[in-house]
Amino acid sequence: MSEYEIDQVEQSTPSDPKLQVQLASRVHRLPPYMFGRINSLLYQKRRDGSDVIDLGMGNPSDAPEELVIEKLAEAARDSGNHGYSQSNGILNLRREVASKYFKRFGVRLDPDSEVMTCLGSKEGFSHMCLAVMGPGDTAIVPAPYFPVHTYAIALASGNVIALDVSDHEKFLSNIAYTCQQLYPKPKLLIICYPHNPSTATVEPEFFVEVVKLAKKYGFMVISDFAYADVAFDGYRPPSFLAAPGAIDVGVEFTTMSKGYNMAGWRVGFCCGNSEMIRGLGVIKGYYDYGLFQAIQIAAIMALRHTDAAVERQSDIYCKRRDVLIQGLRRLGWAVEPPKAGMFVWAPIPEPWRSRMSTMDFAMMLLEKADVAVSPGSGFGDAGEGFLRLALVENENRLRQAVRQIGRCLDNEEKNLQKKSPDGLIPQA
């Protein structure tokens, strides 16, 4: 093409038509990310050089055991491990998971049909919801809710009924009541103990009742057992699958993210009902090619040889829990020590609770105390009035966080008194 012709083409090109990107309605149906405001201020503060103590996300800050990292490096050097892996996970890893379930909970699982490896339990959970839920189906979820428990259902076009999880007797009777009243009946129950965010725990009898209800009313169960490995004071979180008949009605998700400090590795498992697992396998077969094989091989080492490290990690969280609880109680907060999990679920003390929303309180702590926490309202309406503090910083940093929170609240109180010398502080 001559220079003249190129000129002609350029002149005749209409001004860049902008494509109007129209995202699918399922994206619009999702609410704005509740932690967005907190995260952008956290990012801003860090960029400006503030040393923010981050108790926001349950993101483990310690490393896996050295032998697990070494195994990963060794497996990564093997050229045979770099192709696509099996979408349901390599057999030896599934066998190891089955063996752990048997040793720890007395649950027998067939590694071929009752165990599946996932890209983290969150991926498995979300795709399981796609496998079992559809338009017009309803799921019962615990309230307050870990966001994916609700939004994976929404993404699968299902409806959600959120039931208060704080009293498990009431939770069970509300499940029964919902099943009696709702038509069509709920198709799925999601449970999560130790619960994130409320830290509620249960004893094995609770799951026996869940299985009875599931059989009576004909719903499936997904148990999110993410905090199976993090427990304190001799408490052993029970597995849903250990309840008689559980495997007839449901599955359980576990993860290596928390107890094994492997959150970034994305190793999770789905165990239990073979038909539900088959459905998950069908969905996953279309979406992914499985987890990097070197990670799966290192995960086998971790499951086989690092029980003692998992116990030690629980002790670390326990000590952090005690430091944080004692500190907050010294500030006058009425906080209960959790028996398990990586969080403290703290009611915001008065008068702050009546003065401002949970989100504003969390923003104030971040802005003025340099401490990031998760506002309970990020976990739905039932979380309003609470903060979730993750035990992911060391004991000294937690003591520092408490001091900074105390100082911030004292200063704010004084400022409010100055603005309102008659003592009548406006209730926002």
Interface contacts to ligand PLP, rule CB under 6 A: 58, 120-122, 146, 192, 196, 224, 226, 255, 257, 263, 268
On whether the CB atoms of residues 207 and 168 are closer than 8 A, the answer is no
Q: What's the one-letter identity of residue 296?
A: Q
Q: Give yes or no for a contact between 155 and 210, defined as CB atoms under 8 angstroms apart.
A: no
**Taking the complex as a whole, how short is the minimal distance between the CB of residue 338 and ligand PLP, in angstroms?**
13
Crossing angle of helices 395-419 and 307-330, in 10° steps, is 20
The smaller minimum CB distance to ligand PLP, of residues 147 and 327, is found at 147
Nearest approach in angstroms of CB 289 to ligand PLP is: 18
Distance in Å, CB of 420 to ligand PLP, minimum: 41
* Eight-class DSSP state of 24: -
Nearer to ligand PLP by Cβ, of 268 and 376: the residue is 268
Per the CB < 8 A criterion, the answer to whether 141 and 153 are in contact is: yes
Instruction: Name the minimum Å distance from CB 359 to ligand PLP.
Output: 20
For ligand PLP, the closer of residues 71 and 266 by Cβ is 266
CB atoms inside a 10 Å sphere around CB 357: 15
Q: How many beta carbons lie within 10 A of that of residue 257, not counting itself?
A: 23
Residue bearing tokens 């999880």: 165
The residue among 36 and 332 lying less far from ligand PLP, judged by its C-beta, is: 36
Q: Which is nearer to ligand PLP, 146 or 317 (CB)?
A: 146
H-helix or E-strand spanning residue 43: helix 36-47
192-219: burial string, b at 16+ Cβ within 10 Å, e else: bbbbbbbbbbbeeebbebbbbbbeebeb
Of 307, 297, 274, 347, the C-alpha closest to 109 is 274
Q: Which is nearer to ligand PLP, 121 or 293 (CB)?
A: 121
Q: Nearest approach, Cβ of 341 to ligand PLP (angstroms)?
A: 8
Our measurement of the distance from residue 126's CA atom to the centroid of its chain's CA atoms, rounded to an integer in Å, reads 12
Shortest approach of ligand PLP to residue 343 CB, angstroms? Answer: 9
How far is 67 from 298, CA to CA, in rounded Å? Answer: 9
**Spatial CB neighbours of 229, under 8 Å, sequence gap ≥ 6:** 258, 259, 260, 310, 313, 314
Provide CB contacts within 8 A for 146, sequence distance 6+.
Answer: 192, 196, 197, 224, 379
Q: Smallest distance, Å, CB 54 to ligand PLP?
A: 14
- Residue 94: CB minimum distance to ligand PLP, A: 16
Residue closer to ligand PLP, measured from CB, 56 or 268? 268
As measured in angstroms, the least distance from the Cβ of 8 to ligand PLP is 56
In terms of CB distance, is 71 or 149 closer to ligand PLP? Answer: 149
**C-alpha R_g of the chain:** 24
218: CB partners within 8 A, 6+ apart: 185
- Tell me if 365 sits within 8 A of 408, measured CB to CB: yes
- For ligand PLP, the closer of residues 168 and 408 by Cβ is 168
Tell me how far, at minimum, the Cβ of 118 lies from ligand PLP, in Å.
8
Q: Which is nearer to ligand PLP, 8 or 59 (CB)?
A: 59
Q: Give the pair of three-digit tokens for residue 301.
A: 């080492």
